[in-house]
Amino acid sequence: MITRIASIAAFIAAACSANAVTIVSQNRYIDLLAVANGGLPPVGATSSFRADASDFGPFDVTRSIFAFSPTNPNQQGGASAEQHSTITADLLTASGNVGSGTTTFPPSSYGVAINHYELVFDVVVPTPFLLSGSWAFDPQTFYGPGSGTLSLTGPGVAIADSISTRGTFPLSASGDLMPGRYAFALDFQGNLLTSVAPSMRGAFDATLDFTIPAPGTIGLLAIGGLVGMRRRPPRHVLDIARV
């Protein structure tokens, strides 16, 4: 009986963790621009940075850049971004932030920060999913324009969400993915092109999980195993002693 129970447990674990998702392509990057102008005609400086994930491995990047006008020390622009993301057939994760700032008004200097996570994958068999997490614009420092968009599209699925106001908001969705090709994208931008206030910040933390068992799966497998055990003829005590 112990052997039978162990076999059932292994079967349940295999059924719940079966690889039903195949990764097709990825596009993950941060892109920064900082501009500092210093007078008319503009005599200033520009700084930029971009980092792209080269493969499906973990992508961990953090960078801040600044631009300073050589003729006007009050003209400064800055941008920053951070992304920590992973890709597996069972779990997709993405977290990070964006920030940009300027020291001038009117906005002759500025910063632009883009944080992007995009993935294309194929679903082989009907697969449940759970999207969870949160995203936010810092209510203490976000006064300039910025936005975040999230989407999951594919056969029979069209999930879309966006954020452009101050505050913290949850990310939550669940359901079943039918066989076919899907695209998951998360894009976060901070574009401080107007100097209403000196800086803005935003952050996100999202998880797309494919390891959630379908409702009743474990119960049905367990019940089936118990029925199988009950149908087996009882073994003699002497037989058990020999095992």
Tens digits of residue pLDDT in 5-22: 444 444 444 444 456 899
230 has a pLDDT exceeding 70:
no
Cis bond before residue 128 (omega within 30° of 0): no
What number is the average pLDDT over the span 226-238?
36
Record the tokens describing residue 192, joined without a space: 């401080």
**pLDDT at res. 224:** 39
Q: What is the pLDDT of residue 147?
A: 76
Tens digits of residue pLDDT in 91-136: 999 999 888 877 765 556 778 889 999 999 999 999 999 999 998 8
Lowest mean pLDDT among 45-49, 59-63, 199-203, 239-243: 239-243
Burial of 118 (0-12, 13-18, 19+ CB in 10 A): middle
Q: What angle do CA 81, 48, 120 make, to 5 degrees?
A: 55
Which pTM does this prediction carry?
0.74
The pLDDT value given to residue 126:
94
Residues 158/142, Cβ–Cβ less than 8 Å: no
Mean pLDDT, to the nearest integer, of 24-30? Answer: 97
> Tokens in use for 46?
């520009």
As a whole-number percent, the residues of the chain with pLDDT over 70 amount to 67
- The two structure tokens encoding residue 31: 């892109």
Q: Per this entry, what is the length of the chain?
A: 243
Q: Is the pLDDT of residue 42 over 60?
A: no
Segment 60-75 mean pLDDT: 85
